[in-house]
Structure 1
């Protein structure tokens, strides 16, 4: 299991509720090949992602191997306990992870999942490692290809987990926005360890960036929208953004970013914006 086959942009399914199936079908038909979900009924309808996959496969739109499917184990602190839970919270953490994973396989109708991520670190380092080690057993069994962790903003904790994981940490999914200074410390650890950094809140969390004069000038020069320019910068900086757009026009704009070849990392204006974002 070498390298990541992850697409350069992922479709995010959070908060889509009963529209999840139609929106995932729309996104994949438009060209998305990466889908992010979670076994967390509070914010995701993982089962409706599964319905979308069933429809897409039946219609011959894509085959299973064409898609990168990612889900998450969400600890009890991230679950709404007034709703049916994907596991028995009275069980040990390893057993919770096992039950959650089996629920995900059933919800998605899949024999294997490309990436499974801890939705966040657990209450203690030891609990976090225990959950991660349980996920490692699914990699051993050929049921999962890549593992990761989300909402991990402590560089020391990430380094600690990297050192102790038997299966390489392959994904970190964090908020990448002005509110946390674009999370550069964690991003740097990812670059050093060949971990794919995924960003969420990329657009909605960065209104100042979208209005930054340097970014506006880049967008104008290369015929992109400010939103497209932000996604393109992510890709140039080895960040895979999550896009959760519900309108087809915005979905198409996001997908068009990958073929926008004029904007390059060594462009002087890009270097200047990079420096400005690190200085802020």
Structure 2
């Protein structure tokens, strides 16, 4: 395999690998091993969440890799993300739930990125959560903070808040060629906020799309690899997920080719809005 994910620099100067392993629905029992195996082949970015119930397993996999070769395997080279679950919005609840996450990941010292998982509460609670996250950054237990599934109005709440001392570094949303979310993407990029694409593989629903299959054949790649590369060339940080070790290698082996502008245009359906996940909190207006 040639090349590995490049690093992107966030608006706070922190670097993040442009491709990571999504860990939604990866059971605690499997997460430690899949993370360890991923680290061995070059992954350095792992996306967990309190809702996923696998923070502990992910940390266990990272710790195993760190202990295996302390001279070369460094904590600073691994990027670990978690997310605040919706019922725990608000200042006090968030302070407590951050402590809970830190307890789960004991041994890897800190969280690289903590996101608000979705906007599903209200403005006062969301801003209370942001206040607690800012304090956690000041304390050094979290390095960067951001949001997930936020629409433009939800992000504006934070940016316009007079108590904002730290700007979101990332908005993580479902994105693929049939769900391009141009309004959210343009707003984020205009404000120096990186966009992370989750479910880039459409949960497998579009892997047989005729245009995608044709383009994959042209480049000698699998349709999944073309979708991952589409996200990267569109400027997104991409989070393909798998619980199968044999898929880990294919999903990261996307740095030895470039899709032409013509083929990118052919794949991209800005006029469609196909949500493949079971939710779309960007439409939440509470």
Specify the TM-score bucket, using the shorter chain as the normaliser. 0.7 to 0.9
TM-score (norm 2): 0.82
Structure 2 unaligned segments of length 5 or more: list them. Answer: 1-10, 273-286
Aligned to 2:5: none
Aligned to 1:14: 24
Q: How far 1:251 sits from its partner (Å)?
A: 0.7
Aligned to 1:31: 42
How many angstroms apart in 2 are the aligned matches of 1:273 and 1:161?
Answer: 34
Q: Is the Cα contact below 8 Å between 1:21 and 1:49 reproduced in 2?
A: yes
Structure 1 unaligned segments of length 5 or more: list them. Answer: 77-88
Q: Is the Cα contact below 8 Å between 1:14 and 1:44 reproduced in 2?
A: no
Q: How far 1:38 sits from its partner (Å)?
A: 1.4
Q: How far 1:98 sits from its partner (Å)?
A: 1.3
Q: Is the Cα contact below 8 Å between 1:39 and 1:103 reproduced in 2?
A: no
Q: How far 1:26 sits from its partner (Å)?
A: 1.2
Q: Is the Cα contact below 8 Å between 2:172 and 2:195 reproduced in 1?
A: yes
Aligned with 2:90 (options 89, 93, 100):
93
State whether structure 2 residue 204 is matched by structure 1 residue 194: no
How many angstroms apart in 1 are the aligned matches of 2:239 and 2:49?
Answer: 14
Deviations 1:146-187 (A, max 9, x none): 1111122x32222232332321111111122477x3322212
Aligned to 1:80: none
How many angstroms apart in 1 are the aligned matches of 2:59 and 2:94?
Answer: 19
How many angstroms apart in 2 are the aligned matches of 1:19 and 1:254?
Answer: 18
Q: How far 1:194 sits from its partner (Å)?
A: 2.0
Which has the larger displacement, 188-197 or 198-207?
198-207
Which has the larger displacement, 9-18 or 214-223?
214-223
Q: How far 1:130 sits from its partner (Å)?
A: 1.0
Q: Is the Cα contact below 8 Å between 2:146 and 2:169 reproduced in 1?
A: yes
In the superposition, relative to structure 1, how do residues 178 and 215 fare at CA in structure 2: closer, same or farther (>3 Å)?
closer
Identify the structure with bigger relative contact order (alpha carbons < 8 Å, sequence gap 6+): 2
Q: Within 5 Å, which residues of 2 pair with 1:103-252?
A: 103-109=100-106, 110-152=108-150, 154-164=151-161, 165-177=164-176, 181-205=179-203, 207-208=205-206, 210-252=207-249
- Output the aligned Cα RMSD: 2.1
Aligned to 2:61: 52
TM-score (norm 1): 0.83
Aligned to 1:279: 271
How many angstroms apart in 2 are the aligned matches of 1:139 and 1:62?
Answer: 25
How many angstroms apart in 1 are the aligned matches of 2:191 and 2:257?
Answer: 27
Q: Give 4+ residue runs of structure 1 displaced > 3 Å after superposition.
A: 1-4, 210-214
Deviations 1:194-250 (A, max 9, x none): 212112222134624x34443333222222111100000100111122122122221
How many angstroms apart in 2 are the aligned matches of 1:213 and 1:163?
Answer: 44
How many angstroms apart in 2 are the aligned matches of 1:191 and 1:212?
Answer: 29
> How many residue pairs are counted as aligned between the two chains?
256
Which has the larger displacement, 232-241 or 138-147?
138-147
Q: Is the Cα contact below 8 Å between 1:105 and 1:113 reproduced in 2?
A: yes
